[in-house]
Homo-oligomer: A and B are copies of this chain.
């Protein structure tokens, strides 16, 4: 026990969970908000911005990248990070579906 039973859920449910889980940490929300503000930056900029060490920031960036929420391009000896719109597009579709459901059933709660 302890491991998530991913095989028992649909691919769509697992994919969405990976995306939302990646956003489920204040440091990663802060990274996304910073990237939205500056458009693109290198890891060191985020280390200066956040109260976390370089390895910790690097790890958070890796998780956001693996989830498909950011992209990283090599630029000289640094790596330029920016938002990956594809990931956010997928989340957007999910919340749009939720919105449609909620509008239909407004205040029909128990």
A22: nearest chain-B partner, CB-CB: B24
Query: By the criterion CB–CB under 8 Å, are B95 and A83 in contact?
Result: no
Q: Indicate with 1 or 0, residue by residue over A24-49, a CB within 8 angstroms of chain B CB atoms.
A: 11111110110011011000000000
Q: How many A residues touch the partner, as a band?
A: 35 or more
Query: By the criterion CB–CB under 8 Å, are B36 and A14 in contact?
Result: no
Query: By the criterion CB–CB under 8 Å, are A23 and B30 in contact?
Result: no
Q: In the complex, how many angstroms separate the beta carbon of A58 from the nearest chain B beta carbon?
A: 16
Which of A20, A40, A105 is the most central at the interface, judged by chain B CB atoms within 10 Å of its CB? A20
Query: By the criterion CB–CB under 8 Å, are A33 and B13 in contact?
Result: yes
Query: By the criterion CB–CB under 8 Å, are A39 and B108 in contact?
Result: yes
Q: In the complex, how many angstroms separate the beta carbon of A10 from the nearest chain B beta carbon?
A: 8
